[in-house]
Structure 1
Amino acid sequence: MAKEFDLVVVGGGPGGYVAAIRAAQLKMNVALVEREHLGGICLNWGCIPTKALLRSAEVYHLMQHAGDFGFRIDGKIEIDAAAVVKRSRKVAGQLSGGVKHLLKKNKVTVFDGHGALGGKGVVKVTKDGKAVDEIRAKHIVLATGARARTLPGLEPDGDRIWTYKEAMVPESLPKSLLVVGSGAIGIEFASFYRTLGAEVTVVEVLDRVLPVEDEEISAFAEKAFTKQGMKIMTGATVEKLDKTKDGVTATVKKKDGKSEKITVERVILAVGIVGNVENIGLENTKVEVDRAHVKIDGYCRTGEPGVYAIGDLCGPPWLAHKASHEGVICVEKIAGMDVHPLEVTNIPGCTYCQPQVASVGLTEAAAKAKGHEVNVGRFPFMGNGKAIALGDPEGMVKTVFDRKTGELLGAHMIGAEVTELIQGYGIAKTLETTEVELMHTVFPHPTLSEMMHESVLDAYGRAIHF
């Protein structure tokens, strides 16, 4: 006999579990189906454990520069790869357990298995290929996430050619590494392994690293990565990967049309992700799929009445906080609340490499392409007392305003702790703040946030310390 609920969520990642909890808060009887780990890829194999790894790399970097801060460390600093990985997995495990507790606290019924649409208002749950439950609900939210994209001839093998999962749990640290793709995932792993001593080569098919970022930020980042010893190859394509006795030989077609062979111990593939649209019962429904992602409207509704989709399943930006917010919008709309559709340009993006990169809104080029006349402000970390005191004086803050209205169109940062700073501009954009209001906001001293203020002032020729 089918079990009845008001709403069922398929997938327990940062979109799915948040949607389930918010629906429960709104007095709905909620079920959540998860086939593997509560918290999804983000918590178990993405956002959280990678930050734990990067924190270990940051500590190692600081220890190497202890002398700059007045300390002397005698002898070689040893890296225990197993201990680094163990800490990362412990962090992920702790938070996954926390999600389980939150769902129980909010009286969400969790089904362990694979969920798929099984007719109008029906979700069928299977485990190890066997039917275990059937759930009925008026509203069904699909939050099945995404997986790493693979390209013909560049298939991962889990041994020498890695996706993010294998890169997160190395048995030992490779001495040399090729990273294919320079988006957030690729660059974070490149930064982690380079900091811990690996020789790292990054190949990017587009003409610059971190290609979704503002061009000035990309250029600054490439210069910093090169200074750290990374080899950056932009406008290049990995044509094939040949496994050897001790590693992998990559054939790379460079921007000049010539080919170069690069031999490394390991390869990390970071060429994007595709939605998990298969085997979730979309056949014979009105749900539309475009380029491996489900199409939705501003309230996360699909073409099939009563079926909704959120998060990475629906396409870019592939961010946990975007998925969570979509989950809230979706269930609040179902509950009849007055909610606004998600404004994508208000979603901050963060890359936790060294130096960190963060942004929100339009790049300068995108703003001009949309017809805006712009005022652009910049402020360097070198002009900030807190940055100098931290020993991190390399970086910049850039702001883009509409010249006529004073609207903040975008903000772009690179440097220490910018992934924490960016939310200030995120709030400003959500509140539709103008340059005047930002100029009249008092920023505390001494803080890195003062650079945000100075960048705004610089856009109008009023910077004090630059």
Structure 2
Amino acid sequence: MDTDNTSIAPESDVIVIGGGTGGYSTALRAAALGLDVVLFERDKVGGTCLHRGCIPSKAMLHAAELVDGIAEARERWGVKATLDSVDWAALTSTRDDIVSRNHKGVEAHLAHAGVRVVRASARLTGPRTVRAEDGRPAGREFTARRGLVLATGSRPRVLPGLEPDGRTVVTSDDALFAPGLPASVLVLGGGAIGVEYASFHRSMGAGVTLVEAADRLVPLEDADVSRHLARGLKKRGIDVQTGARLESCRRTGEGVVAVVRTARGEVREISAERLLVAVGRVPVTDGLGLEAAGLAPDERGFVPPADWSRLETAVPGVHVVGDLLPPPSLGLAHASFAEGLLVAETLAGVPSAPVDYAAVPRVTYSAPQTAAVGLSEAEARSRSYDVVVNSMPLTAVAKGMVHGQGGTVKVVAERDGRVLGVHLVGPHVSEMIAESQLIVGWDAEPGDVARHVHAHPTLSEAVGEVFLSLAGRGLHQQ
């Protein structure tokens, strides 16, 4: 793979700015379709997901699951196991090895595809031209014959006065790389990121307080998902405070002292060794030179497409993927892959279906996990659907009893019509959601699903039972 930018020819069919999931998937697909591609990346290909987000965090959450398993073995199954200690250096070494191998794999894929990587920041100088900002007095200019793809991603939102220092105040970008395991953590933000990090630190023995300003956790999900998730986290000893607001926070020699106003109006002072700020992410467009291409971000910092079926901006030939897109895009890595495929195929003149965001699964990898696809019950009712809902606890099936961690399956459907949404809480539901993705994406009706036999005993059996009942063929659900 090229490391000397001066050796890369300045003209190509497509220029992609940003080597994260959306950017490199665009580059790989475009190259596979015979287009000549230049990819700009100022850091490492793979982006936030690979290096600071999805992959390292899920590696650490797997380690947390193993720790939880030791406690379950001892307390529930009579296996007299104890946790001696957590070797933080060994744990992080394994995490880093997983990230490194994935990184090398992405680099190898790009090299094999013939994608030329420019190791530099990019600045637009026109709708088809980009200058490499690589520290040279006069950066080289690159030209795209077919189009530009903006994929510069996002960064954690930072609150005034709570700027991260990588040790006492951290964001999701650096929380897993802060030194050692703190004895106590205050997590500000109860979305998927905040919940996952709260779950991890609790598994590792930290005292955890989770503060969310909305009246429930993961507020974009179904209300029943929020309720079951909060119950599971509280059962694990996490102090969950919803409808609560941070009024002030100061750093001390031992960590932070925060003043929080609870939902009841009470004022609490919370001390913690570490504060994790997980209040969302913001698009990265600074230094990109959007104005030179005739573009401007909206009031939230997003670069909206004029045509969602092509993810093309108001400037012809300039496309957007990933975290630069506003809703209904989801800011999820797997959605970015789909967006990259769409844009690459559009630029190559290959027919490609628009991304169906309603059929993109959403997962929180905490303990318990949550997974959902499609509309929540409230969303379905707000759109005037005649809704029928059915739910079933995972512990109503034998495998759910084996796991003993609670959880639920909830299905939202049109009365005498298609399935609108499926919502899961419990162990391993991140691996169970794929079936429901197809159910929602293919506009299946409960009777269509009920015809298919689910393996016994499995957790997925509960999904099958819910659909059997909706189709009027219930067995175990009364």
Shorter-chain TM band: over 0.9
Spell out the pairing of 1:122-201 with structure 2 (5 A cutoff).
Answer: 122-128=129-135, 131-138=138-145, 139-201=147-209
Counterparts in 2 of 1:92-111, with a 5 A limit?
92-111=99-118
RMSD in angstroms over aligned alpha carbons? 1.6
2:468 is the counterpart of 1:463: no
The whole-number CA distance in structure 1 between the counterparts of 2:354 and 2:186 is 40
The 2-side partners of 1:3 and 1:76 are apart by 57
Consecutive unaligned residues in structure 1, runs of 5 or more: none
Distance 1:413 1:322 in 2: 20
Task: Mark the CA change 1:461 to 1:380 in structure 2 (over 3 Å): closer, same or farther.
Answer: farther
3-state DSSP of counterpart to 1:243 = strand
Given candidates 355, 380, 388, the residue that maps to 1:367 is 380
Matched, 1:403 2:412: no
Question: Does the CA contact (< 8 Å) of 1:288 and 1:303 recur in 2?
Answer: no
Does the 8 A contact of 2:60 with 2:95 survive in 1?
A: yes
CA contact (8 A) 1:421 1:449 kept: yes
Equivalent residue for 2:454?
443
The one of 336, 351, 354 equivalent to 2:349 is 336
How far is 1:252 from its partner?
1.1
Q: How does 1:194-343 map to 2 (within 5 A)?
A: 194-290=202-298, 291-296=300-305, 297-298=307-308, 299-316=310-327, 317-343=330-356
CA distance in 1, matches of 2:324, 2:128: 20
Given that residues 153 and 239 in structure 1 are in contact (C-alpha distance below 8 angstroms), is that contact kept between their aligned partners in structure 2?
no
Whether the 8 Å contact between 1:178 and 1:264 is mirrored in structure 2 is yes
Please, which of 367, 391, 395 is the counterpart of residue 378 of structure 1? 391
- Determine the C-alpha separation between the residues in 2 that align with 1:285 and 1:107: 27
Alpha-carbon offset, residue 244 of structure 1: 0.9
Q: CA separation of 1:129/1:171 partners in 2, compared to 1, >3 Å: closer, same or farther?
A: farther
Q: Report the CA distance shift for 1:24/1:87 in structure 2 as closer, same or farther (over 3 A).
A: same
After superposition, the Cα gap between the structure-2 partners of 1:279 and 1:59, relative to the gap in structure 1 and judged at 3 Å, is same
Check conservation: 2:41, 2:117, Cα contact below 8 A: yes
Q: Secondary structure at the match of 2:259?
A: strand
Aligned with residue 18 of structure 1, among 13, 20, 25: 25
Q: TM-score, normalised by structure 1?
A: 0.96
Q: Is the 8 A contact 2:234 2:240 kept in 1?
A: yes
Aligned to 1:165, the other structure's residue is in SS state: coil
Instruction: Report the secondary structure of 1:425's partner residue.
Output: helix
Shift of 1:71: 2.8
CA positional deviation for 1:65? 2.2
8 Å CA contact 2:127, 2:148 repeated in 1: no
What SS does structure 1 have at the residue aligned with 2:384? coil
Alignment of 1:68-79 (within 5 A): 68-73=76-81, 76-79=83-86
Instruction: Find the counterpart in structure 2 of residue 388 from structure 1.
Output: 401
Q: How far apart, in 2, do the equivalents of 1:393 and 1:167 lie? A: 27
Determine if contact 1:377/1:457 at 8 Å carries over to the other structure: no
Partner of 2:3: none
Deviates further, 268-277 or 116-125: 116-125
Q: Deviations over 1:180-200 (max 9, x none)?
A: 001111000000000111010
Matched residues in 1 for 2:136 and 2:214: separation?
A: 41
Match of 1:59 in 2: 66
Q: What letter corresponds to residue 63 of structure 1 in structure 2?
A: I
The answer (yes or no) to whether the contact 2:447–2:471 under 8 Å persists in 1 is no
Instruction: Give, as a single letter, the amino acid of the residue that structure 1 aligns with 2:470.
Output: A
Task: Give yes or no for the alignment of 1:417 onto 2:424.
Answer: no
Identity %: 38
Structure 2 Cα separation of the partners of residues 66 and 356 of structure 1: 20
* Closer, same or farther: CA 162–446 of 1 in aligned 2, 3 Å: same
Deviation at 1:70, TM superposition (A): 5.0
- 1:135-154 Cα distance to aligned partner (Å, 9 max, x none): 11021101000000112233
Give the superposition deviation at 1:124. 1.1
Aligned residue-pair number: 463
Instruction: Point out the more displaced range, 252-261 or 421-430.
Output: 252-261
Runs of 4+ in 1 over 6 A off after TM superposition: none
Return the alpha-carbon distance in structure 2 between the equivalents of residues 248 and 315 of structure 1.
34
- The alpha carbon displacement at 1:430 in A equals 1.9
Displacement, 1:112? 0.7
Q: What TM-score do the two structures reach when normalised by structure 2?
A: 0.94
| CA distance 1:359–1:119, change in 2 (3 Å) | same
Deviations 1:254-282 (A, max 9, x none): 22334221111100000000000111110
Per mean C-alpha deviation after superposition, the further-off stretch among 289-298 and 40-49 is 289-298
Structure 2: where are the runs of 5+ without partners?
Answer: 1-5
1:274-295 Cα shifts (integer Å, max 9, x gaps): 0001111102433241211110
